[in-house]
Structures are given as C-alpha cells and as structure tokens.
Homo-oligomer: A and B are copies of this chain.
Amino acid sequence: MTTLAEEVVRTFGSPSLMIDLDRVDRNIARLQAACEAAGLANRPHIKTHKSPDLARRQREAGARGLTCQTLGEAEVMAQAGLTDILISYNLLGADKLGRLTGLLRRTALTVSSDHPAVVVGLAEAAQAAGRVLDVVVECDTGRGRAGVATPGEAVALARLIADAPSLRFAGVLLYPPEDGTAATQAFLDAAQEGLRGEGLAAGIVSTGGTPNLRHLGEVRGATEHRSGTSIFNDRMMVACGAATLDDCALEVVTTVVSRATPTRGVLDAGSKTLTADPGGGLDGYGLIREYPQARIHKLAEEHGFLDLSGVAAGPEVGTVVRVVPNHVCVVVNMADRLVATRGGRIVGEIPVAARGRR
C-alpha cells in the first residue's frame, strides 16, 4: 500500500511540494464567494503561488483581476495572457522603469506609489510607452510598512499623479492592520474628503490580507480585496483563525533520513525548503500531519530536526511524511514546481513560473 506522498517522492524526489487541487478549488471558490457577498471585486495576490495556471483558475472562478508584488510576476502573468494586473509596489530605477514601459506596451496595468519620486519615474515610463498608466496611492493606516503616513500626503500625491499627462489617478491601496478597521476608515474618509476638494475621486479602494477576510466589507467605500495566502493556507492562517488544517492545500512531502535516538529524528526538509520563517511565533517550523505531536524544533539547510519526545512510536528512517508549513508563500518561492494531486492521485506539475523574477 503506497501512500500518495510516497508516490510523489518516488516520482518527483524528496522533498517536494504537493498541492491538493480539490482543496485549492474550494479555497478559490470560498474567497470568491466572500468577496461577492461583501460586494467587493476579488483581486487575488499571486505572490503566494507565482503560477499563471493557478491565476487562470482564480480568474475563471470570477476574480476581477490579479495583484502582483514584483514586476517580474506581472511580466510572467502578462506573458501568459492574463490581464487587469495591479502591481502593489513602488517601482524605481532604470531597469524596472524600462521593463515597465515594455510591459505597458503589451497590457493595461495599475501600479501603486507612496512617494513623489516614484510618480516621476512612473510618468516617464508611461510616456515612453505612449500609454496612460493607472496609479493608486498606497496608504499606511497603521501597519508601519509602506504607504504615505497621512491623508494629506495621500491627497497631495493623488494631485501629482492626476497632473501628470501620462498618468491617471485611480484610487487608493490599503492594507489595514488586523484590528485597524476604525483607523483605516478614519484615514480613508479624510482622504476621500481631501480628494473631493481637489476634484478627484478614488475609483479603486483596495483592501488586502487573508486574515482580514474576517473583516471583509467593514471598510465603507472599499471596492475590492487582495488575498494571497487563502488559495493554499498554512499554519499561520490556522493560528489566526482564517482557515482550518483541512483548508491547507499545500504540503511539503519529506523523508525521515535519520533517527539517532528514540526521541530524535531528522527530515530532509531544512531551511532551504521550509524556510526559517517563524510564522509569527509558532512552535517549530511546520506541522507534521502524521505526527502532530512531533516538533520541528530546529533547521539546518537540508535538515529539519525533530523532537519526538511527545510521540509514542516515532517514524522509521525512510518514512515519508507531509508537513503543513508555517508560511506557505515563502515555501512556494523555494521550489521550481508544485506537484498537483486530485482525489488521491498525481495529476501533473505546475511550474512556479515567476520564482526568481523581480
């Protein structure tokens, strides 16, 4: 009796990344339904899977467009014929702006910005392409990441965008803190009022985040949502209540390669597979489906060290197990392909086509 994981290892080697397409389809449908119920367009973030094949599934399920975090991701998606792409990232420098010009000649894009220097570059790139580029203003409503810090700066940047002949002010990009609906609403309302005073309107009001799906629709005036992780889910999403373990569609298939003592073991998945991402303070670097009491307590590059003291009968050397990773987006980025399964059978492989592209 060979398990599916063993079959994956036999065919594709160990470690491999395996996805369950039934779960993927269910996760895609659930996100789409949630957006529709909230009256929002669905613009999934493809940084999680970096795959045109999976992006196409999301579009076919009803997604309005796609979100990319890098220019390279957008190039790969556009090359595959996917349209309506938002790049939620400040693009800067001759290399990126030259490539942006090339991409704009082939497809319509929306790009975000939080700084006048970025707007200047975007205007030049769009002018060189002979196209008008839609630009949204990224706003920081409390996370302390990218984004303008005040509604006044948002309005000033929108003015600058609107005044550039090759750009069009398209709206605002938000990434609300998980407990930050009120702060986000206050920022957005003030920005909207300022925009009206300038004769401008935010056609797009984009919110984001898979954990924020529980607050979907709470920001009044939002028009769309960006969720990446929900297509696969991971331990972090389980920990924050955004998913159950049964919703986790990607598993790292890995082999027990050493058992020095009854309480110690080693997987062939280390930091070059699982990554050192602590998942915001989770215990260990992944959950072993077959041995949930085992702890992956430490990683070397090609070794995942197991504490089996809580396990009655630990796995033998050679045992193949499935690990739900802490943070699926960075784990996918380590691989060149995903092994696709459905109904307990291998049905193909999906290239992580945009990996390594920026």
Cα separation A51 to B334 with both chains bound (whole Å): 18
B residues less than 8 Å from A313 (CB atoms): none
Check if A300 sits within 8 Å of B93, measured CB to CB.
Answer: no
Give how many copies assemble into the complex: 2
Contacts of A94 in B (CB 8 A): 10
Known A145-B300, A275-B271, A275-B275; contact A260-B140, beta-carbon cutoff 8 A: yes
A310 sits at the interface (CB 8 A): no
Which of A25-33, A180-188, A230-238, A251-259 lies at the interface? A251-259
A317-337 vs B: 1/0 string, CB under 8 Å?
110100000000110011110
| Interface positions of A from 254 to 302, Cβ below 8 Å from B | 255, 257-261, 264, 266, 268, 271-272, 275-278, 300-302
Q: Does A316 contact B (CB under 8 A)?
A: yes
Q: Is A37 on the interface with B (CB-CB < 8 A)? A: no
6 pairs of residues in contact across A and B, judged by CB atoms under 8 Å: A12-B95, A14-B92, A14-B96, A70-B302, A146-B303, A334-B356
Q: Which of A113-121, A166-174, A194-202, A211-219 contacts B (4 or more CB under 8 A)?
A: A113-121
B contact residues around A147 at 8 Å (CB): 258, 260
Q: How far is the CA of A70 from the CA of B300 in the complex (A)?
A: 13
Interface: A13 (CB within 8 A) = yes
Contact check, A317 vs B260: say whether CB atoms are below 8 A apart.
no
Sort chain A's interface into a size bin. 35 or more
Q: How does the 8 Å CB contact mask read for A63-85 relative to B, with 1 for contact and 0 for none?
A: 00000011000000000000000
Indicate whether A271 sits within 8 Å of B266 (C-beta atoms), given known contacts A13-B95, A89-B302, A95-B14.
Answer: no
Instruction: Report the minimal beta-carbon distance from A305 to chain B, rounded to whole angstroms.
Output: 7
Contact status A146-B257, CB under 8 Å: yes
Residue A242 interfacial (CB < 8 Å): no
Answer whether residue A358 sits at the interface, using C-beta atoms and an 8 A cutoff: yes
A108 on the B face (CB < 8 A):
no
Q: Does A90 lie at the interface of the complex (its beta carbon under 8 Å from any beta carbon of B)?
A: yes
Residues of A within 8 A of B (CB): 9-15, 47, 69-70, 89-90, 92-96, 114-115, 117-118, 140, 144-149, 255, 257-261, 264, 266, 268, 271-272, 275-278, 300-303, 305, 316-318, 320, 329-330, 333-336, 356, 358
Known: A115-B258, A335-B356. 5 other contacts (CB 8 A): A89-B257, A90-B317, A92-B257, A146-B260, A147-B258
Most buried by B among A10, A13, A69, A118: A13
Cα-based distance from A95 to B11 in the complex (angstroms): 7
Give CA–CA (A266, B145) in the complex, Å: 8
